[in-house]
Amino acid sequence: MSDFIYSTKIIDKRCMRKALLSIYEEKLSLITYLKGTWGSLGITKNIYNGYDPYETAQYIVVVIGGPLLTFKENEFIQDENSNAGTKAIFERWTAGEMKWDEDLNGPFSVLIIDKEMLEVICVTDIMSFIPIYEHYNYDDYTISSHVDMLSIVENKSSHFDEVSLADFILNGTVTYPYTMFKDIYQIQPASRRIYSHSKKKVKVESYWRPYETNEYSNIKKTANFLRESLNTYISLITSQTTNIAQFLSGGEDSRTISGLLKNIERERDAYIYLDNMNREGKIGRKIAKRYNANFKLTTREEMHYLNVMEKCIDLVGSGAEYHHAHTYGFHEKLKKYDAVFGGLFSDALLKGARIKKTKLTKKFIFLPNRKEKVNLINNNLNSSSFSKDIMDNLKARRIRHLKFIKEYRKESAEEWFELWPSSMNRNIPNLHANRRLFKSYEPFLSNEIVKVSAGTPQRWKLNRKLFHKTSKPYLTSSKWILHGDGWYPYFSFRLNSFISFFTWAYRQTGKRLGLIRGNQGSWARWKHLINNPQWDQQVNDYFSDLTLTNEKFKDDLKKFASREKYSVLQYIAFTQVLYQLQKRYKNEEKS
């Protein structure tokens, strides 16, 4: 539960507290409120140990997230109610030695308030894994780590940007730097943003950019470097912790994490979330046994994702797909651990998941990946529901963002269009939820992994070439355990293409003959879920409470409700937008 709101103006304590509490289901008792000539600040308790606020006569320092410090031991990880990590960052900064892309590893944001000089420095991590948002109004700046918190304190909760709403429904994200709200924008990743209260101006300094350098010429050496980086990252944590857990699946990412953790001389629990004990669960149980972990199965109710929808939407924020918060509802079990490891973003950074591929490649997993030679970012972006003006504006925004990425990446701009900042990747809300609920650590989000991803050619990522060379030593223990998708991660794609074909053909035949039934995978059966009468009733309830100042846009939403031409994910995003619209306007009417 780690968030902040800072403003150059004085925001009333009650208003600040209301905003800070607005995203959480449970009431928070530990909220810090400070004010002075430098402005006002509200902070919720950071769940990562060692990162409580640090204050001197001149400075206030706030750290969001739980970055690993590479310039010293991280012994404070187990120290509750400590600001040792915050103090260490501050001292390195004041000594002029801080290298933000090297010294802090993993998701973070740092806020340094100079009370005497009336200056505020806000630093974002290299991918904005923790996004920061800004609102400027009449020479005053307000920034926050949660877009809805910012909309509340600035009375913007019902000032929705209709182009962004359409963007989210159609694409699952909001194109950077826009947000769901008018006049609220996401600030740049990998930057130091300096707000001068007295001079009424902002200075932006970049400390890293994802240049397409292709500086890694040898794939074998690069894989060795990645293994060293992953081992170093995990060792920094496990050397200071005693009680750890990990997430499990039938895939290869969690097996890689399992292999990295296998030789640690302590027990660890491995959690998997399913509709029921199915093929994925049976594979996961075998993997846990091979890697010396305690298998922990938690099953979901049929309507779980509908039941937790509103709470998850509030937690991850407007413009983020809520259903990636897979741990919500089960997170209480995870709070007891010093560290919970996941495998988020390995596909995006090392396997080329965001590289646009040919239609056949996407349809049949046993075919080798082939990059789409012609990839226009707006090629398939069409909608008969939203007005031409909205669609034209949306396409123009996406083209501007693509041009921004092309400043750094010529050949892979379309890939990094969905990566930089990370808010452009629809899977990142998984991190936004987890980091607020328990001590979540994602080794594939480490700075060195990001830099390697930025500097390696796309051909290494396709068909998991680089990932396979990196992870193969960790996959030995599960060499003959099938992947949930029907192939063996220990072996290369070339061999697996044959295995994959026969498994795919067998499963397709089994489904048609009724021999294979039910949900055999990790995720919910979304098509089944949104066609449930309970989901329809929820949508109807939202519409009945919906009062928009723009009746034309309300008509657009009603057109969309027909669901005739839209994907499952688009309809889920549409439902999410309805909830946010009716909630914001309802709250405004009450106030």
Residue 345 and residue 240 share a domain: yes
Q: What percent of the chain has pLDDT over 90?
A: 74
Residue 93 and residue 19 share a domain: yes
Q: Which of 488, 513, 544 is the last residue of a domain?
A: 488
What pLDDT, on a 0 to 100 scale, did the predictor assign at position 587? 58
Does residue 34 belong to any structural domain of this protein? yes
Residue 472 and residue 429 share a domain: yes
Average pLDDT over every residue of 358-371: 78
Does residue 497 belong to any structural domain of this protein? no
Residue 284 and residue 332 share a domain: yes
Per-residue pLDDT tens digits for 64-122: 999 999 999 999 999 988 999 999 999 999 999 999 999 999 999 999 999 999 999 99
**Domain containing 31: what range?**
4-157+180-206
Residue 450 and residue 325 share a domain: yes
Does residue 94 belong to any structural domain of this protein? yes
Looking at residue 26, which CATH number applies to its domain? 3.60.20.10
Sheet holding 31-36, edge to edge: 31-36, 39-44, 4-7, 140-144, 133-137, 184-186
Looking at residue 275, which CATH number applies to its domain? 3.40.50.620
Residue 303 and residue 186 share a domain: no
Residue 299 and residue 199 share a domain: no
Per-residue pLDDT tens digits for 464-482: 999 999 999 999 999 999 9
Does residue 170 belong to any structural domain of this protein? no
Lowest mean per-residue pLDDT among 22-36, 212-226, 467-481: 22-36
What pLDDT, on a 0 to 100 scale, did the predictor assign at position 564? 61
Q: Which of 488, 509, 538 is the last residue of a domain?
A: 488
Residue 199 and residue 263 share a domain: no
Mean per-residue pLDDT over the chain, rounded: 91
Residue 563 and residue 440 share a domain: no
Average pLDDT over every residue of 319-330: 94
Does residue 261 belong to any structural domain of this protein? yes
Average pLDDT over every residue of 516-526: 84
Residue 469 and residue 322 share a domain: yes
Query: Residue 549's pLDDT band (boundaries 50, 70, 90)?
Result: low
For residue 153, the tally of other CB atoms under 10 A from its CB is 24
Average pLDDT over every residue of 422-432: 97
Does residue 390 belong to any structural domain of this protein? no
Above 70 in pLDDT, residue 566? yes
Above 60 in pLDDT, residue 590? no
What pLDDT, on a 0 to 100 scale, did the predictor assign at position 250? 92
Above 90 in pLDDT, residue 389? yes
* Number of domains forming the structure of the chain: 3
Does residue 383 belong to any structural domain of this protein? no
Does residue 225 belong to any structural domain of this protein? yes
Q: Which of 206, 241, 264 is the last residue of a domain?
A: 206
- Give the integer Cα–Cα distance in Å for 172 and 168: 5
Query: Residue 25's pLDDT band (boundaries 50, 70, 90)?
Result: confident
Residue 547 and residue 481 share a domain: no
Residue 198 and residue 236 share a domain: no
Distances (CA, A) of 13 to 40, 62, 147, 241, 443: 9, 18, 19, 37, 37
